[in-house]
């Protein structure tokens, strides 16, 4: 059974259980999915601030984009946990002979790449959601400003939470060229995310 | 049907729908519930860093506290939407006669207080969860550091998101003494939350 087919109460109970999954990676994807959904909601509200055809079109485009991102992030809730389970399984492979050791090492490296790909995809989706913020704030229904702000807070938490997961798994990767490439994208996505979020001062 | 009895997929669809609830207030409570659940999970993992009876006790206490906070925040997902629905209903009360106008004004003020109480409670719970961060980071299983970090990011998003909702509703309140009291607590909670979160640089 996929995580997102469970009730919210059940999923929260699973997050609390000491089983290795679901963990922070799935939680970050879920935060992003809720954030993108709130932005999609605001884009669809009647009485938008948008008063021109161009404004209405950019609002509609942002809404479609956030709906697609929310759906992608929902899928990533499960994908992250599946990838993490693969890492755990790979570490449990036998390591008695040299052949077994080599197969286990390859298995771990392959699993780590999957466990990096999922949160990296979460980061990309959250950054793309954050980039819709300015359009929603300028063109969306004025009474839903607080929903936009909460949505952006959640997308930022998703971006940052996914980053922690990418970096944790990157620590075990042997391929230096791949690591450098991922690290560069992480830095780029974090920066774009930070720039687009008008945070609530606290 | 309460929101948390829906599947995650259904709840995300409701966040995306243009209906007024669920909105940002429920989303903030949900973010906090996931964050507190992750911290509770880490507290319950085998092989904690804690090596003394005192360390183990403080870890167990933090785990029990986060479990209770997660359950409270789960309840607040629904309470926030119910309170917001009350505000919408109060604004729709008839205002033909002076008596109706007076009754409507009272109804709005009462509903606004409920719609402030719910996110204020979310702020308190998120701040209390954030305060458990140092114990979990010092005493929890070292391999779950990323889960602690994601949990703290989500609790902070919950705290900030709830603050936006408190402040939006506070804008309509007439009672100045009550407003000042709430504003002071919001400032205090925001500060304690910000101090306890070792954020991921981005």
- Compute the distance between CA of residue B189 and CA of residue B127 in angstroms, rounded to an integer: 6
Helix, strand and coil percent figures for chain B, each rounded to 5: 80, 0, 20
The three-state DSSP-derived secondary structure of chain A is CCHHHCEHHHHHHHHHCCCCCCCHHHHHHHHHHHHHHHHHHHHCCCCCCCCCHHHHHHHHHHHHHHHHHHHHHHHHHHHHHHHHHHHHHHHCCCCCCHHHHHHHHHHHHHHHHHHHHHHHHHHHHHHHHHHCHHHHHHHCCHHHHHHHHHHHHHHHHHHHHHHHHHHHHHCCCCCHHHHHHHHHHHHHHHHHHHHHCCCCCC
Q: What 3-state class would DSSP assign to B202?
A: coil
Residue B177 distance to chain A (closest CA, Å): 22
Q: What 3-state class would DSSP assign to B79?
A: helix
- Compute the distance between CA of residue A17 and CA of residue A122 in angstroms, rounded to an integer: 23
Of A45, A153, A193, the CB nearest to B18: A45
Task: Give the pLDDT band of residue B197 (cuts 50, 70, 90).
Answer: very low
Task: Give the pLDDT band of residue A51 (cuts 50, 70, 90).
Answer: confident
ipTM of the prediction: 0.94
Q: Does B4 touch chain A (CB under 8 A)?
A: yes
Inform me whether the pLDDT recorded for A196 exceeds 90. Answer: no
- pLDDT at position A88 is 93
Q: Which residues pair with A7 in a beta bridge?
A: B7
- Compute the distance between CA of residue B96 and CA of residue B45 in angstroms, rounded to an integer: 62
Mutation for testing the B interface, residue in A64, A151, A160 having most B CBs under 10 Å: A160
CA-nearest of A147, A135, A112, A129 to A74 is: A129
The C-alpha angle with vertex B9 and arms to B128 and A5, in degrees rounded to 5, equals: 95
Q: Does B151 touch chain A (CB under 8 A)?
A: yes
Average confidence (pLDDT) over B41-63: 94
In chain B, which residue's Cα lies nearest the Cα of A73? Answer: B12
Token look-up 């935060």 returns A31
Q: What would the pLDDT profile of A141-191 be if each residue is shown by its tens digit?
A: 999 999 999 999 999 999 999 999 999 999 999 999 999 999 999 999 998
Beta carbon pairs, A and B, within 8 Å: 188
Inform me whether the pLDDT recorded for A20 exceeds 90. Answer: no
Distance of CA B8 to the CA centre of its chain: 18
Q: Does A139 touch chain B (CB under 8 A)?
A: no
Mutation for testing the A interface, residue in B12, B165, B188 having most A CBs under 10 Å: B12
How distant, in Å, are the alpha carbons of A20, B39, B46, B145, B148 from that of B134?
21, 11, 18, 11, 10
The C-alpha angle with vertex A30 and arms to B185 and A59, in degrees rounded to 5, equals: 85
Q: What 3-state class would DSSP assign to B8?
A: helix
**What's the first-to-final CA gap in chain B, in angstroms?**
40
Q: Does B192 touch chain A (CB under 8 A)?
A: no
Distance of CA B48 to the CA centre of its chain: 28
Q: Does A178 touch chain B (CB under 8 A)?
A: no
User: B7–A12: do the CB atoms touch at under 8 Å?
Assistant: no
Q: Does B183 touch chain A (CB under 8 A)?
A: no
Average confidence (pLDDT) over B131-157: 96
Q: What would the pLDDT profile of B76-104 be if each residue is shown by its tens digit?
A: 999 999 999 999 999 999 999 999 999 99
CA-nearest of B83, B93, B90, B91 to B114 is: B83
Q: Does A4 touch chain B (CB under 8 A)?
A: yes
pTM: 0.95
- Compute the distance between CA of residue B124 and CA of residue B134 in angstroms, rounded to an integer: 17
Residue percentage of chain A with pLDDT more than 70: 95
- Compute the distance between CA of residue A155 and CA of residue A158 in angstroms, rounded to an integer: 5
DSSP conformational letter for B44: T
DSSP conformational letter for B21: -
DSSP, residue by residue, B110-175: HHHHHHHHHHHHHHHHHHHHHHTHHHHHHHS-GGGHHHHHHHHHHHHHHHHHHHHHHHHHHTT---
B160: phi then psi, degrees, rounded to nearest 5: -70, -40
- Compute the distance between CA of residue A39 and CA of residue A55 in angstroms, rounded to an integer: 16
User: B34–A30: do the CB atoms touch at under 8 Å?
Assistant: yes
Q: What would the pLDDT profile of A87-114 be if each residue is shown by its tens digit?
A: 999 999 999 999 999 999 999 999 999 9
- pLDDT at position B50 is 87
Q: Does A164 touch chain B (CB under 8 A)?
A: yes
Q: What 3-state class would DSSP assign to B7?
A: strand
- Compute the distance between CA of residue A110 and CA of residue A105 in angstroms, rounded to an integer: 9
Task: Give the pLDDT band of residue A58 (cuts 50, 70, 90).
Answer: very high
How distant, in Å, are the alpha carbons of A112, A159, A161, A186 from that of A178?
12, 21, 21, 12
Q: Which residues on chain B are in Cβ contact (under 8 Å) with A40?
A: 16
- pLDDT at position A202 is 39
């Amino acid at each position: 059974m996929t995580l997102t087919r469970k009730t919210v109460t059940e999923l929260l109970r699973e997050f609390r259980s000491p089983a290795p999954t679901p963990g922070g990676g799935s939680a970050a994807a879920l935060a992003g999915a809720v954030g993108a959904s709130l932005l999609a909601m605001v884009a669809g509200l009647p009485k938008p601030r948008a008063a021109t055809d161009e404004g209405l079109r950019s609002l509609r485009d942002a809404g479609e984009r956030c709906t697609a991102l929310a759906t992608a992030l929902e899928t990533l809730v499960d994908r992250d946990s599946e990838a993490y389970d693969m890492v755990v399984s790979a570490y449990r492979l036998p390591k008695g002979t040299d052949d077994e050791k080599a197969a286990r090492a390859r298995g771990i490296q392959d699993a780590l790449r999957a466990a990096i790909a999922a949160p990296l995809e979460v980061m990309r989706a959250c950054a793309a959601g954050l980039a819709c913020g300015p359009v929603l704030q300028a063109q969306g229904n004025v009474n839903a400003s607080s929903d936009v702000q909460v949505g952006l807070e959640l997308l930022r938490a998703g971006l940052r939470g996914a980053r922690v997961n990418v970096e944790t798994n990157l620590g075990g990767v042997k391929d230096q060229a791949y690591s450098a490439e991922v690290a560069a994208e992480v830095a780029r996505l974090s920066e774009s995310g930070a720039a687009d979020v008008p945070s609530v001062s606290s």
